Amino acid sequence: MRKMKSDEVIVDFSYYMPINKKQEEFHKSNAMHKLLIGAYRSGKTYPAIHEAFFVCYDNSNHEFLVARNTWDSLTENIEKDMLRISERANAHKKWDKSKHDLYLHNGTVIRFRPLTMTRAQFKGMNLCGFLIDDPDVDKYKEVISFLYTRLTNPPNIKANYFETIICANYEGHNWLWQQYMRRRPEGGDGMFA
């Protein structure tokens, strides 16, 4: 899908292709906030990871947050998947396992953090976007709301664009579903898709 040159290093995601129309629409959307809802193992995280890398490579020298509910769920799931995909695409320069930070060739840092962190711990990050995988919406609603606010009114951050991605299982008409469906315009991207 994409091949990029960064600091004379070829970063190659050309192997990646969306497997269905919904994934293709997800990547083509210009919305700032993207939500992928589906059943367990329905194919949400794989395109979301690629989209996260695309955002990171479009925004040099920034930070991008990847979050899950707890450290265990983060390291055992999405962190491993992103490292595997990054190695395949030659996308990262350095992996700092102790800090859970992935340094990309263009100066952007992907920070893996659990949603159990406090709002104050997220404040110091200069985010161009975030990916939250399978959040416990009821438990972490306050943190997710805070992260949205950080990207809606970014503190002195000059990114090409900002993007949030959330992958969630369908849990009825919860707060997350309401945020997107209420703010999603008919027939267009708008801010929420």
Q: Bridge-partner residues for 64, per DSSP?
A: 110, 129
- Beta-carbon contacts of 102 under 8 Å, excluding residues fewer than 6 positions away, are 82, 83, 86, 92, 94, 95, 96, 109, 110, 112
Residues 8-63: tens digit of each pLDDT: 788 999 899 988 888 898 899 888 888 888 777 778 899 999 999 999 999 999 99
Six token digits for residue 191: 């801010």
| Whole-number Å distance between alpha carbons of 85 and 174 | 31
Question: Which of 165, 152, 10, 6 lies closest to 78, judged by CA?
Answer: 165
Residues 138-192: tens digit of each pLDDT: 899 899 888 887 776 666 677 788 889 998 887 666 777 777 766 666 555 567 7
Six token digits for residue 67: 């979050």
CA separation (Å) from 4 to 11, 88, 139?
A: 5, 14, 39
pTM for the full predicted model:
0.90
Phi, psi of 61 (to 5 degrees): 60, 40
User: Tokens 């707890």 sit at which residue?
Assistant: 70
